[in-house]
Amino acid sequence: MINILVEEAVRTKNVKVLVKSIFNIELTEKEEEIVREIAFDEHKRVIICAMTRYGKSMCVALGILLYILFNKNKRIKIIAPIIQQSSVIRIHLSNFITSSPILMDLLNLEVHGIERIKKEISKTRLTF
């Protein structure tokens, strides 16, 4: 039943259902918009202008992870003025990966496990 629900959500670009079923997170309407634009590659560039603590980094991380699930052999670069800003997104990515068995299976690590993922947070690259 879940697979049918997820397949329908992918077909209709329903990121609210996808994020809820994969990550168990409820999105607001605006968060859905951010995640959808990234996950389904709707625009060449996405500019997000919102207040601090709006959830921008979380939405970008969720969008990236869904994009990774739908696209094979793609490179994603997270660019920010300083490393600390991009590390916020990387921390979200690591947390979401460790909470999703689907993504853990895709992760290319010599040693599997949550401890290995936690060590990867300080590095600058994750390979799926």
pLDDT tens-place values along the chain, 128 residues long: 457 777 888 899 999 999 998 999 999 999 999 999 999 998 888 888 888 888 899 999 999 999 988 888 888 888 888 888 888 898 999 899 888 888 877 765 555 556 665 555 555 666 65
Cβ 49 vs Cβ 76: under 8 Å: no
Q: Both tokens of residue 41?
A: 């590659």
DSSP symbols for 45-108? -------TTSSHHHHHHHHHHHHHHH-SS-------SSHHHHHHHHHHHHHHHHT-HHHHHH--
Q: What is the pTM of this model?
A: 0.80
Q: Both tokens of residue 18?
A: 């996808």
What's the farthest any 2 CA atoms get from each other in the chain? 44
Burial class (CB in 10 A: 0-12, 13-18, 19+), 20: middle
Burial class (CB in 10 A: 0-12, 13-18, 19+), 38: buried
